[in-house]
Amino acid sequence: MARKPRLGWRLLFRTALTLSFRDARAGELTTLWVAVVLAVAALTSVAFVADRMHAGLDREARQMLGGDLRIRADHPIDPALLAEARVRGLRIASTAEFPSMATGPSASGSASEAIGAASMSAATEPMDPTAATEPPPSRLVAVKSVSENYPLRGTVTLAPAPNAPASADYDAQRGPAAGTVWVDAPLLDALNAKVGGAVQLGTRTLRITAVIVREPDRGFSFINFSPRVMMAASDLASTGLIGRGSRVTYRALLAGPDLAQADAFGAWARQTIDRDGIRGTTVETLQAGQPQLRQTLDRADHFLRLVALLTSLLCAVAIALAAQRFARRHVDGCAVLRCLGASERLLRGVFLIELAGLGLAASVVGGLLGLAGHAVLLHWLGGLIRVSLPWPSMWPLLQGVVAALVLLLGFGLPALYPLTRVPPVRVLRRDGAGLAGVFASDAERAAGQSGWRAAWHRVYALRGYAIGLLLYGGLLIWAAGALRLGLIVAAGFLIGVGGFALCGRGLLRLLAVWARKPGALGFGWRYAVASLERRSAASTLQITALGVALMCLLLLSMTRSDLIAGWRQSTPADAPNRFVIDIQPDQAAEVAQRLTASGIAASPPAPMIRGRLTARDGKPVSPDQFADTRVKRLVDREFNLSYRMTLPDDNRLEAGAWYGPTGSPKPQISIEAGLARDLGIHLNDMLTFDVAGQSITAPVTSIRRLDWGTMQVNFFVLMPPDALRDFPATFITSFHLRPDQQSALDGMVRAMPSLTIIDTAALLAQIQRMLDQVIAAVQFLFLFTLAAGAVVLYAALAGTRDERAHESALLRALGASRRQVQAVQWTEFVVVGVMAGAMAAIGAEAVGWTLAVRVFSFAFTLNPMLLLTGIVAGLVCAVAGGWWSLRSVLRRPVLVTLRGG
């Protein structure tokens, strides 16, 4: 028995290199090359950013904690936990953080006196409120009191002055000395103060001795958007800022001889907290350090990954289209090779090597573009990343190589596989069947069969694409970094593509039926519609590809303008921009009187009682009962309760009945709808709250929907006054402050320094700046998506270029004029552009509505101009792309085109 000759690897590689160079010179690989480069560049640019951010956060996690681990609580930390830490040999440092108002020296001339008095070693005298003719400036600050040995890991970097050179920076050896503070540089300008000058916190005047350059364990919360004032823990009590109802976050930083010792204590502390039911206390470890920062960066990372995945999806479509055209143009060449003795195995190896080499080369170029692009992304995201970042690893480059190979082998190779079975007789019998004849050979196997066997053979012919889709689905999940995100992106894309394809196919059929009616359309329109219907698969693919690309662009434009404008419009122009909290009961009347006298229209001070939900229907409530991390934190902290008899104007009942003003004054609860949904609370549930060690139990009698966009004072839980009047409470009010009324507010804070005024305008501005940073990064990354859309458009139109050229030549040979042929071509492009643009606009509106209502929670207004914009954009893209891909068709002689030259 003769042995089957072995395939010569030297011959295989030589043939593959020869064909690759020939195809590259002929421009046959250009579209495939560009699509792979764009996909790799988009994916690696985001992967490089994620790799560096996560590596930087992991490397500096201990410094960001200030220790090996820390205990966080919303009340003084249980002494038993700290005692056990000392027994285990751990070092302990303590911090306390809270918002407060800082007051600077007056600008009237008494500033020098205040500064001079404060320059003494321990200035402890309270400021004289009559020392200045004008109220001194005051600003909301993030106060942080620290023990002398703070921090245990990392260092606080200080500067002697705000504008001092970097060489003058130095590391603090201990916390601030008694009677002194360290501040952020922006606070000096806000208070007209300087290093060596004075700042008032509560009833204390403290001396500013340094400017904070870097604080290792600074959190990422709304409070910390305010300038930092760091003071000694020994000075905290004398300021009078900590009172009943004050919102303070206490932390104990712990460090041991080795990390294992600290981890062992952390495990014991968590068990003790759960066993003893110590509410409001959590253990923050090395891996869970800075959860707010990680959450924010993860959200930005996922947002960028979505755009990168979308780019790669468009590139996958472009690769599939370009590979189909490549295969059609190589049918005759493969037939010649078969006549010369090339086997199916040889041709498969040649195409495999050609695509693999193209993928490796494109991944290198795309990886270099991604490396440069990630630097731009880091520039835009610099405000979110506050740690020094190490150089990236090689992992993103590996991801780029895998992505290139999966894209080419998954979507390109299946289109080339039928070329390996082109019959040699194709050289002599050029019947125009092309690849259709090759695919027919698989169908012939089903001849004479029926049912599931015939169906199986038809599916088997497309097995390459099925494997490619599975591989690409795995790539999406890997690139997304999360199973859920990858599945959502893949499923959403398939649904969108499927919907566009069905709509496009249906519209073409309807248009074809209408065009067949006598006198319905002229020759150009009738023949163009007939051509689109005859090439229904290719036409539907063109419409779908162009529609998806345009929908992405329209959605980005709408997100940048309409959705953000809707978010801004959800808050009225005269909405409250100041909140006054920590108003003591004996100060409520005076605060209202001062605001009224200054012409400030404020809501009446409302009582605010801090209570913790402990039971529902007699069963204990704990964070462990909920899977969502946000809900866990919600249950673990204290809620803001309040009492009143009238339903607030910006509240509306969703279920139940309001208890007042004519209802029963007995204890009952009106709860906010979102909180009720998150916690699974329904009408008539019996809720128990612990307020300062006292319990109160009441049924839920109504569920309210709040309009948070009004920025008015609102509460999650309301009760009748008789139910909560005897519990300890502070008061809160809100109002809209004009710039010319700031001095009146400064005077009130000077008279009552325990008040805390939150400037929501500054917070919203900070949120907007963060949003602008992410949007700018997305816009840069979307340049890859735009380029990918252009490649899809070109590949879709070029895919039918040869057929269009052949049809045009036939029309001209049969006597059609150049103008008539041109009219047919332009009509086809117009139909494709209008359909794609209209569907893209409708799809963008649908997605925009979903984002507005389901994510951003504000009213969505349909934009009628978006449909027109989509149609115009579709026309421009289709006509421009069609002209570019078919610009030489009419110039070519008819005989040359019909001969296939």
**What integer pLDDT is reported at residue 369 of this predicted model?**
86
In DSSP notation, 689-701 reads EEETTEEEEEEEE
Mean pLDDT of 180-200: 89
H/E stretch holding 761 reads helix 760-798
Categorize the per-residue pLDDT at 128 as very low, low, confident or very high, splitting at 50, 70 and 90: very low
Mean pLDDT of 146-163: 90
List of residues 6+ apart from 547 with CB closer than 8 A: 500, 504, 835, 836, 837, 839, 840, 843, 874
**What integer pLDDT is reported at residue 387 of this predicted model?**
54
> For the segment 31-84, what is each residue's pLDDT rounded down to a tens digit?
888 888 888 888 888 778 777 766 665 555 566 678 888 898 888 899 999 999
Going 256 to 259 to 263 to 266, the CA torsion angle's sign is: positive
Categorize the per-residue pLDDT at 700 as very low, low, confident or very high, splitting at 50, 70 and 90: very high
446 burial type by CB count under 10 A (0-12 exposed, 13-18 middle, 19+ buried): middle
**145 pLDDT more than 90:** yes
Q: What's the token pair of residue 633?
A: 């934190």
Q: Is 310 helix (H, G, I), strand (E, B) or coil?
A: helix
H/E stretch holding 92 reads strand 91-103
Q: In this structure, are residues 149 and 200 in contact, taking their beta carbons and an 8 Å threshold? A: no
**422 pLDDT more than 50:** yes
- Minimum mean pLDDT among 79-93, 171-185, 269-283: which range? 269-283
Higher-confidence position of 680 and 429:
680
Distance, CA of 461 to chain centre: 40
Q: Provide the pairing of β-strand 669-672 with 651-656.
A: unpaired
**463 pLDDT more than 80:** no
Mean pLDDT of 652-667: 78
**What integer pLDDT is reported at residue 244 of this predicted model?**
65
Phi, psi of 282 (to 5 degrees): -135, 155
Mean pLDDT of 486-505: 72
Q: In this structure, are residues 716 and 640 in contact, taking their beta carbons and an 8 Å threshold? A: yes
Tally helices (H) and strands (E) across the chain.
30, 22
Amino acid residing at 786: L
Q: In this structure, are residues 543 and 504 in contact, taking their beta carbons and an 8 Å threshold? A: yes
Mean pLDDT of 395-412: 81
Instruction: Please choose, from the candidates 464, 409, 558, 452, the residue with its C-alpha nearest in 3D space to the C-alpha of residue 863.
Output: 558
Q: Is 876 helix (H, G, I), strand (E, B) or coil?
A: helix
Distance, CA of 416 to chain centre: 38
CA distance 197 to 112: 9
Mean pLDDT of 484-506: 72
List of residues 6+ apart from 501 with CB closer than 8 A: 540, 541, 543, 544
Mean pLDDT of 760-771: 62
**What integer pLDDT is reported at residue 123 of this predicted model?**
38
Phi, psi of 159 (to 5 degrees): -130, 150
**138 pLDDT more than 70:** yes
Higher-confidence position of 731 and 346:
731
**What integer pLDDT is reported at residue 14 of this predicted model?**
81
Higher-confidence position of 206 and 126:
206
Q: Report the chain's terminal Cα–Cα distance, integer Å.
A: 46
229 burial type by CB count under 10 A (0-12 exposed, 13-18 middle, 19+ buried): buried
Mean pLDDT of 580-587: 87
Categorize the per-residue pLDDT at 342 as very low, low, confident or very high, splitting at 50, 70 and 90: confident
**445 pLDDT more than 60:** no
What separation in angstroms does the CA of 472 have from each of 14, 275, 490?
30, 47, 9
661: preceding bond cis by omega (within 30 degrees) = yes
> For the segment 283-302, what is each residue's pLDDT rounded down to a tens digit?
876 555 444 445 555 555 66
- Minimum mean pLDDT among 541-555, 717-731, 774-788: which range? 774-788
Phi, psi of 548 (to 5 degrees): -65, -45
% the chain with pLDDT above 70? 68
Print burial letters for 584-600: b (CB count within 10 Å at least 16), e (below 16): beebbeebbebbeebeb
Q: Is 26 helix (H, G, I), strand (E, B) or coil?
A: coil
**What integer pLDDT is reported at residue 231 of this predicted model?**
96
Higher-confidence position of 699 and 128:
699
* Torsion angle (degrees, nearest 10) of CA 261, 265, 267, 271: 160
DSSP code of residue 814: T
**95 pLDDT more than 90:** yes
H/E stretch holding 776 reads helix 760-798
DSSP code of residue 853: I
CA distance 523 to 514: 14
Q: Is 602 helix (H, G, I), strand (E, B) or coil?
A: strand
Q: In this structure, are residues 364 and 41 in contact, taking their beta carbons and an 8 Å threshold? A: no
Distance, CA of 645 to chain centre: 41
Print burial letters for 528-539: b (CB count within 10 Å at least 16), e (below 16): bbebbbebeebb
Categorize the per-residue pLDDT at 804 as very low, low, confident or very high, splitting at 50, 70 and 90: low
Mean pLDDT computed over every residue of the chain: 76
Q: In this structure, are residues 349 and 12 in contact, taking their beta carbons and an 8 Å threshold? A: yes
**What integer pLDDT is reported at residue 685 of this predicted model?**
93
Q: What is the largest CA-CA distance in the chain?
A: 115
CA distance 528 to 512: 10
> For the segment 355-374, what is each residue's pLDDT rounded down to a tens digit?
888 888 888 888 888 888 88
CA distance 691 to 682: 22
What separation in angstroms does the CA of 400 have from each of 313, 390, 464, 786?
14, 20, 22, 19
Q: Is 103 helix (H, G, I), strand (E, B) or coil?
A: strand
Counting Cα atoms < 13 Å in the Cβ hemisphere of 479 gives 37
DSSP code of residue 136: P
Phi, psi of 331 (to 5 degrees): -60, -50
**What integer pLDDT is reported at residue 536 of this predicted model?**
73
In DSSP notation, 32-90 reads HHHHHHHHHHHHHHHHHHHHHHHHHHHHTHHHHHTSSEEEEESSSPPHHHHHHHHHTT-
Q: Is 600 helix (H, G, I), strand (E, B) or coil?
A: coil
DSSP code of residue 135: P
Categorize the per-residue pLDDT at 96 as very low, low, confident or very high, splitting at 50, 70 and 90: very high
Q: In this structure, are residues 552 and 789 in contact, taking their beta carbons and an 8 Å threshold? A: yes
**What integer pLDDT is reported at residue 774 of this predicted model?**
64
Mean pLDDT of 131-146: 76
% the chain with pLDDT above 90? 12
CA distance 225 to 382: 15
**What integer pLDDT is reported at residue 117 of this predicted model?**
37
Mean pLDDT of 836-858: 73
Going 325 to 326 to 327 to 329, the CA torsion angle's sign is: positive
Q: Quickly count: other Cβ atoms within 10 Å of residue 290's Cβ.
A: 21
- Give strand pairing partners of 661: none
**127 pLDDT more than 50:** no
Q: In this structure, are residues 657 and 625 in contact, taking their beta carbons and an 8 Å threshold? A: no
CA distance 465 to 274: 52
SS (H, E, C) 176-244: CCCCEEEECHHHHHHHCCCCCCEEEECCEEEEEEEEEEECCCCCCCCHHHCCEEEEEHHHHHHHCCCCC
Helix, strand, coil percentages for the chain (3-state, nearest 5): 55, 15, 30
CA distance 238 to 235: 6
Q: What's the token pair of residue 395?
A: 């992992």
Categorize the per-residue pLDDT at 4 as very low, low, confident or very high, splitting at 50, 70 and 90: very low
**687 pLDDT more than 90:** yes
State the angle between helix axes of 344-380 and 760-798 in degrees (0 to 180), rounded to the nearest 10.
160
Instruction: Please choose, from the candidates 356, 427, 319, the residue with its C-alpha nearest in 3D space to the C-alpha of residue 12.
Output: 356
**What integer pLDDT is reported at residue 742 of this predicted model?**
78
Length reported for the chain: 901
**What integer pLDDT is reported at residue 767 of this predicted model?**
57
- Give strand pairing partners of 73: 250, 281
Mean pLDDT of 197-215: 91
Amino acid residing at 793: L
